[in-house]
Amino acid sequence: MSPLDLLMAAPLGFMAAALMLGPSGRWLILLAAPLMAGLALWLALLPPDAAYLVGQWDLPLGILLRADGVARLMILATALVIGAVGLHALAEPPEKPGHAAQAETFWPLVYLMWAGANAGFLTTDLFNLYVTLEMVSLAAVALAAMGSLAAALRYFMIALLGSLAYLLGVALTVARYDTVDVILLAQVAEADLATLLALGLMTAGLLIKAALFPMHGWLPPAHAAAPAPASALLSAIAVKLGFVILVRLWFEAFAAVTGPAALHVLGGLGAAAVIYGSIQAMRQDRLKPLVAYSTVAQVGYLFLAFPLVAGTVEPSGAWAGMTLHGVAHMLAKAAMFLAAGLMLKAVAGDRIADLGGLAQAMPLTVTAFGLAVVSLMGLPPSGGFTAKFLLLSAAIEQGAFLYAGVLVIGGLLAAVYLFRALSACFAPLAGAGPDTASRGPVTGGVQAVAPLALAGLAIVMGFAGTALVDVSAIEAPWATPTVIQPEAAP
Amino acid sequence: MTFAFDLILCLMILGTAAIALFVRDALAAIAFFIAFGNLMGLAWLGLDAVNVALAEIAIGAGVTGVLLILARARLLALGDAATSTGSPLLLRLGALAACAGFVVLLAAAVLSIPPESGLDRVVAPLMPGLGIENRVTGVLLAFRAYDTLLESFVLLGALVAVWSLAPAGAWPGRPADPGMADAPMRRVAGTFGQLLLPVALVMAAYLVWAGSDLPGGAFQAGTVLAGGLLVAGMGGTIGLPSSDQPLLRAALVLGPVVFLAIGLAGVAAGGLLVYPAGLAKALIVTIEYTLFLSIGVTLALLVAGPPMPGASDPDPEGKG
């Protein structure tokens, strides 16, 4: 047994078990959360070269599973996020009142997304990645539909378009190279028409899935309307798989094909996403759309990092900044959506102006929201700070002052829109209307602890900077050069 | 296939596709789409891709056609005329230009790739070790069994996603009765269903068995089973089951779970999805038979849709 297969098999087993158990399947999360966290930790502690071929079928035909640094960190964060979100959802049912179907189907869908995300982070096979992308997208669309059917349908249509574009690119790749394994592709890829078209199609499809500006249109309505646990999973997990596949494509399989110009297109879109998402977030009157637009902005940083990683011979800092930003955003955004859900439920409204008095009524939840704000803004000490600091250092070192400027301005804009929501919680309760009675203290319970734990982890990440940077470098494409440098500096 | 036949087939494919796209009435568009799917199946046959042809005709034309017809009936019931409204000419021309440009680019890329496949050379020497002849089955159930394992859970997840759309108060329950409202038609469908269901079962069981050495396999057989179940459901021969029936749930998860269990048992032989020497064919056939049953039931329920309030069972016998 190895965590490489159990991390995929266990959630699928839980999915089938949840379907067999029916309404009582929800209790399985009590077993799944610690088990998956243990497996993810086991994976993180495996020797650096941990990998194996499924069914012992050799490449190029078979499928290789590999635990590189990105996979280790993403899977650990996924286990923490889905575990916490699941425990939260156990205490705070995610369904609309009366929708027993949602209450029951929520759980198999969560396990499907869990298995898909883990399998996707581990595989090096582009077609296998397509299958995992479908697992995650299918679960994500169904979870989004629990809030707004119209938003979910729009998400579904655009996600299908993304899937088809990606699949067409994979088909062209297999026809051209007889392999879809990123490690083999890295050795043979050439910049010809078929390859460039394949990479373009796959990239376009994945940018839709990752919701990079200007392909982000589906995200805010879907993420804002979904029930809080579903929003947390959509923003934390669903968009990250598209990003990780793009990392596999651009820095591994087709690293020899991509040029600086193309990398700057992605970086420029990322920078635009940071500014645009932040300005849109500032313009929102309602809390959940604000948090959703914050995801649009935060996804931008992931791609702003692309030219910074490619622009230097020693990219360990930019690479770690990119990876850790993904992890920190997973933890902080999941915490923020869960906290926002509790806060809005307590005030029975959805506007930022409704949040007054909550700091006294539910201090734990407002604290969780505040800690998530700290990490998302990139204030020290937090995972968000470590990541942005690494990216900023890389940008300054490379003289990429435009990207450095966007990193700084993005943090300031995040401060503006996030503090607006946070300070609203500290405002005195407006009037003593009839809804005051419902604003009783909602302090205890798993539902309040889950976002606090996730936000706390996003902060604690800031203290584990060096260790996490080392993990992110495991089996990184730039760390294992196929060509040995002729002369190393003494 | 002769050149003349290929030429006529290509023209008919383009013709049916164009009519399906440009006709105003949804029913006519659906009819031509189904014809288009069947012609595509013929084209795949011409290319010696029998497995793809089976899948295209069964799923692309068959199941999708049924889904489209049901969707149109639903639109009519909601008061929609189910006809397409014209879009601005400029938009149409723009779309045409964009599509044409993309097709030219794609064609240039495809034509720049040499036609022979190197993977075929890799697959051929590995087949004797499996004890089966059909390379497609070899790819789906051995070399790329991991993809297929995950796909089987995607299909299960698709049904769960459809179920999650059940309106408030309808859960657990039955899908809306797919039976025909017209009594004489229902009797015809009922008689046909009584005949078709056993035939479909035998044919599907054969398709799975044949899939080891000839074109066929769990997915095609599952579609045949689903077709038989649906026709029987439309005629009222069988009632659609309630979503919480334990036997139904077991039928749905059986295939994926057996696949997963066999895959994990492979760890004893060296790793995930490793088949011990000599046992490969037995294990593949076991996976395919259980998977076929689950796929058939899942596809039928996917077409039937989510549980609906007040969906009563015309036949209290039900089915497992």
Which amino acid belongs to residue A274?
Answer: V
Q: How many CB atoms lie within 10 A of CB B114?
A: 9
Q: Which helix (H) or strand (E) holds A299?
A: helix A287-310
Give the list of residues 6+ apart from residue A271 with CB closer than 8 angstroms, or none: A300, A304, A402, A403, A406
Tens digits of residue pLDDT in A192-205: 999 999 999 999 99
CA B70 vs CA B174, B177, B179: distances in Å = 17, 12, 11
Task: Please give the pLDDT value at position A384.
Answer: 94
Distance CA B12, CA B40 (A): 10
Residue listed under structure tokens 């057989």: B221
**Whether the predicted pLDDT of A128 surpasses 50:** yes
Residues 6+ apart with CB under 8 A from A84: A33, A334, A338, A450, A451, A453, A454
Chain B positions in Cβ-Cβ contact with residue A119 (cut-off 8 Å): 150
Asked if B32 has any chain A CB less than 8 Å from its own CB, the reply is: no
> For B164, which DSSP code?
T
Q: Is the pLDDT of residue A415 over 50?
A: yes
Give pTM, 2 decimals: 0.94
- Over residues A52-61, the pLDDT tens digits come to 899 999 988 9
DSSP-derived pairing of the beta strands A64-66 and A51-53? antiparallel
Cβ-in-10-Å burial (0-12, 13-18, 19+) of B123 comes to middle
- What's the half-sphere exposure (Cβ side, CA atoms, 13 Å) at A430? 8
CA angle A36, B287, A52 (to 5 degrees): 45
pLDDT of residue A485 exceeding 70, the answer is no
Q: Which of A19, A63, A145 sits opposite B253 (nearest CB)?
A: A19
Of A222, A415, A208, A211, whose CA–CA distance to A299 is shortest?
A211
Residues 300-319 of chain B whose Cβ lies under 8 A from any Cβ of chain A = 306-307
Model confidence at A442, pLDDT cuts 50, 70, 90, reads low
One pLDDT digit (tens) per residue for chain B, 320 residues: 588 999 999 999 999 999 998 888 889 999 999 999 999 999 999 988 888 898 888 888 888 888 898 888 888 888 887 777 777 889 989 999 999 999 999 999 999 988 777 787 888 888 888 888 888 889 999 999 999 999 999 999 999 999 999 988 888 889 887 766 677 877 888 888 888 899 999 999 999 998 888 877 888 899 889 988 988 888 888 888 899 999 999 999 999 999 999 999 999 888 899 999 889 999 999 999 999 999 999 999 999 889 988 755 444 444 43
Residues 225-254 of A with CB under 8 A from B: none
**Boundaries of every domain in chain B:** 133-320
CB count within 10 Å of CB B182 equals 10
- The DSSP line for B2-19 is -HHHHHHHHHHHHHHHHH
Q: What is the structure's pLDDT at A88?
A: 95
Q: Is A95 on the interface with B (CB under 8 A)?
A: no
Q: How confident is the model over A19-45, as a mean pLDDT?
A: 96
Distance between CA atoms of residues A368 and A372, nearest Å? 6
pLDDT of residue A120: 97
The answer to whether B171 faces chain A, any CB pair under 8 Å, is yes
Q: Give me the mean pLDDT over the A351-367 stretch.
A: 90
pLDDT in tens, A331-340: 999 999 999 9
Say whether A57 sits in a helix, a strand or coil: coil
Residue A224, min C-alpha distance to chain B (Å) = 19
Restricting to A residues 319-358, those with a Cβ less than 8 Å away from any Cβ of B are none
| Residues A281, A417 contacting (CB under 8 angstroms) | yes
Whole-angstrom distance, CA of residue A164 vs CA of residue A172: 12
H or E element that contains A111 = helix A100-122
CA B173 → CA A433, B218, B307, B314, B320, distances in Å? 42, 28, 5, 14, 14
User: Cβ distance B17 to B37 under 8 Å?
Assistant: no
Give the pLDDT of residue B2.
82
Distance between CA atoms of A431 and A461, rounded to whole angstroms?
40
Per-residue pLDDT reduced to its tens digit, B165-193: 998 888 888 988 776 667 787 788 888 88
Per-residue pLDDT of A448-470, as tens digits, reads 899 999 999 999 999 998 899 99
pLDDT, average across residues A266-292: 95
Residues A113-142: what's their mean pLDDT? 97
Q: What single-letter amino acid sits at B295?
A: I
Q: Other C-beta atoms within 10 Å of B92: how many?
A: 11
Instruction: Name the residue facing A55 among B122, B172, B272 (closest C-beta).
Output: B272
CB B259 within 8 A of CB B291: yes
pLDDT category at A484 given cuts 50, 70, 90 is very low
Q: Name the percent of chain A lying above pLDDT 70.
A: 95
Express each pLDDT in A225-245 by its tens digit: 999 999 999 999 999 999 999
Report the pLDDT value the prediction gives residue A432, as an integer from 0 to 100: 47
Check residue A489 and give its pLDDT.
38
Give A-chain residues touching B156 at CB under 8 angstroms.
Answer: 15-16, 19, 108
Ordered alpha helix ranges (H), A147-189: 149-177, 182-188
Q: pLDDT by residue (tens digit) across A296-349?
A: 999 999 999 999 999 888 899 999 999 999 999 999 999 999 999 999 998 888
pLDDT above 80: residue A366: yes
